Chains A and B, each alone.
Chain A
Amino acid sequence: MSRNDVLVTADWAQEHIGAPGIVFVEVDEDTSAYDKGHIEGAVKLDWRTDLQDPLRRDFVDREQFEQLLSERGIGNDDTVVLYGGNNNWFAAYAYWYFKLYGHSDVKLIDGGRKKWELDSRPLSTDAVSRPATQYKASEPDTSIRAFRDEVVAAIGEKNLVDVRSPDEFAGKLVAPAHLPQEGAQRPGHIPTAVNVPWSKAANEDGTFKSDEELAKLYAEAGLDTGKDTIAYCRIGERSSHTWFVLRELLGHQNVKNYDGSWTEYGSLVGVPIEKGA
């Protein structure tokens, strides 16, 4: 994998609107953003109602994912081009999710919705419908997904990258500051985790920094490239952004996203927690 395989520019995206075999997919945290205007022809995925099981805290299963993609008209051979708000947090989450279920050709629009809007590129409010497909998903690839026991066992053994803001890492905030500071879990971070906020990997317009800048960022943070890495945040979306950087842009092997993240870890009974910078 290299940058050109997994990332497209806004210019490329605009030139490929309506191109056969390419499906644009918008995934936002603010799920009403799509309805206010989207890239022409783009379908919407709601990260909460489409990608989470309605009852248990987990993903939709393989059959549900197949049904979802079939309904939205996405085929196994299509190139899926993802973009979204919040500097592509949820688009990166969806990218990771598509990879988990084995979709081969997935890309992100560099800068996502933010760059698109800042460039004043066209948005459409036309309803989009695509003919249904018969999508077939693979079994979930757990080589890219970390679970809690693995995370506890990784303390002092593997690279743990906490990608939340410094104030969340230190335990001063328990959620990103655009959300109310609630939640029963304890503030802080997993011992031995290094804090490399996801935002350090992005430019102000939401695009990713260059490979050279990114390599330097994680080297300076003390990431040992000889070790496996687990990235986490609060619910697993910002850490998908960093997972994308480490595995897809920088080509690190054995990088997992811990989607349980702080909302799970910080609520576990008896696990060690550290506070402070």
Chain B
Amino acid sequence: MCGAPKQGGTLAGVDLATQTVIQGQVWHDGAPVAGAYVRLLDATDEFTAEVVTSPEGEFRFFAAPGAWKLRSLAPVGRGERALTADVGLNETTVAIA
């Protein structure tokens, strides 16, 4: 029913003709950041969802077409990225400076 899907991994079973997938990695200092908190904010900056990155620093959201912002919070610092998503796969990277 609920249960956060494992972050990263294949998109098998995900219908990219209907789903708007936003996924990518969190990076810091030339390496992916595992265990970072990544939240998806809507066009008004309101919280929509949050996941914890995989050992490879990966995150994935199932959103809708439109403007979104990703914000990452980790013990090493925070990073942010704005993007416009369309139906299908939208890949991006969030850098923590």
Whether A6 sits at the interface, judged by CB under 8 Å, is no
Residue of A nearest to B65 (CB): A172
Please determine whether B1 and A263 come into contact, CB atoms closer than 8 angstroms.
Answer: yes
Within 8 A of B (CB), among A71-105: 85-87
Please determine whether A181 and B46 come into contact, CB atoms closer than 8 angstroms.
Answer: no
CA–CA, A181 and B14, complex, Å? 10
Residue of B nearest to A177 (CB): B49
Please count the residue pairs between chain A and chain B whose beta carbons lie under 8 angstroms apart in the complex.
83
Q: Report if A165-B48 is in contact (Cβ < 8 Å); known contacts: A120-B75, A179-B2, A179-B4.
A: yes
Which of A132-140, A197-205, A212-220 lines the interface with chain B? A197-205
Whether B27 sits at the interface, judged by CB under 8 Å, is no
Q: Report if A165-B42 is in contact (Cβ < 8 Å); known contacts: A172-B64, A178-B49, A204-B73.
A: yes
State which of B19, B44, B47 has its C-beta within 8 Å of the C-beta of A180. B19
State which of B4, B64, B73, B74 has its C-beta within 8 Å of the C-beta of A178. B4
Residues of the B chain whose Cβ atoms lie less than 8 Å from the Cβ of A33: 52
Please determine whether A181 and B64 come into contact, CB atoms closer than 8 angstroms.
Answer: yes
Whether B26 sits at the interface, judged by CB under 8 Å, is no
Whether A110 sits at the interface, judged by CB under 8 Å, is no
- Shortest distance between the CB of B54 and any CB in chain A (Å): 11
Please determine whether B62 and A181 come into contact, CB atoms closer than 8 angstroms.
Answer: yes
Residues of the A chain whose Cβ atoms lie less than 8 Å from the Cβ of B37: 114, 118
Q: Report if A178-B51 is in contact (Cβ < 8 Å); known contacts: A48-B1, A117-B35, A172-B64.
A: yes
Please determine whether B64 and A199 come into contact, CB atoms closer than 8 angstroms.
Answer: no
Whether A64 sits at the interface, judged by CB under 8 Å, is no
Residues of the B chain whose Cβ atoms lie less than 8 Å from the Cβ of A234: 2
Whether A31 sits at the interface, judged by CB under 8 Å, is yes
CA–CA, A177 and B65, complex, Å? 12
State which of A29, A114, A173, A199 has its C-beta within 8 Å of the C-beta of B2. A29
Please determine whether B74 and A173 come into contact, CB atoms closer than 8 angstroms.
Answer: no
Whether B86 sits at the interface, judged by CB under 8 Å, is no
Residues of the A chain whose Cβ atoms lie less than 8 Å from the Cβ of B94: none
Please determine whether A87 and B2 come into contact, CB atoms closer than 8 angstroms.
Answer: no
CA–CA, A87 and B47, complex, Å? 12
Residues of the B chain whose Cβ atoms lie less than 8 Å from the Cβ of A85: 52
Q: Can you list 23 pairs linking A and B with CB atoms under 8 Å apart?
A: A29-B4, A33-B52, A118-B37, A118-B73, A118-B74, A118-B75, A165-B47, A166-B42, A167-B42, A172-B64, A173-B63, A177-B63, A178-B40, A179-B4, A179-B5, A179-B49, A180-B5, A180-B19, A181-B64, A197-B46, A205-B73, A235-B2, A263-B1
Given A173-B63, A235-B2; 18 other pairs, CB 8 A cutoff: A29-B3, A29-B4, A30-B3, A30-B4, A30-B52, A86-B4, A117-B35, A165-B49, A166-B42, A166-B46, A173-B64, A176-B48, A177-B61, A178-B4, A181-B18, A181-B20, A234-B2, A263-B1
The 4 closest A-B pairs by CB, nearest first: A199-B47, A177-B49, A178-B49, A30-B4
